[in-house]
Amino acid sequence: MDIICTNCGEPYDTDFILHDAPTEFKRNGCLITACPCCEDRRSSPLSPDQRERLQAIAEIAPLFGDDFDGFAAFLEDMSYIE
């Protein structure tokens, strides 16, 4: 199950975030505000649509607290992750 970085839109497996590389992420519960890809993504800016989508996700993520599975399922349901 994946959740995404709300800064650059990169999807990550929740196990990777929680267990493999927890120090690589800036996050508050389900809300990821910075990830290892953010630097690289600066050279290819997001479209306004993508920005808007990530903004919406950033507003919803805190509602899930630390429920990563619930949040991942939500993102999948909403087709935020293809």
Q: Using CB under 5 A as the criterion, which residues of the chain lie in contact with Zn ion when the complex forms?
A: 5, 7-8, 10, 35, 37-38
Tokens representing residue 19 in the block: 């267990």
Distance set, CA 69 to CA 2, 41, 74 (Å): 9, 26, 8
Closer residue to Zn ion, CB minimum distance, 41 or 70? 41
Closer residue to Zn ion, CB minimum distance, 37 or 81? 37
Tokens representing residue 46 in the block: 């997001």
- Min dist. Cβ of residue 79 to Zn ion (A): 20
- Min dist. Cβ of residue 17 to Zn ion (A): 11
Closer residue to Zn ion, CB minimum distance, 58 or 60? 58
Question: How far from each other are the two terminal CA atoms of the chain, in whole angstroms?
Answer: 12
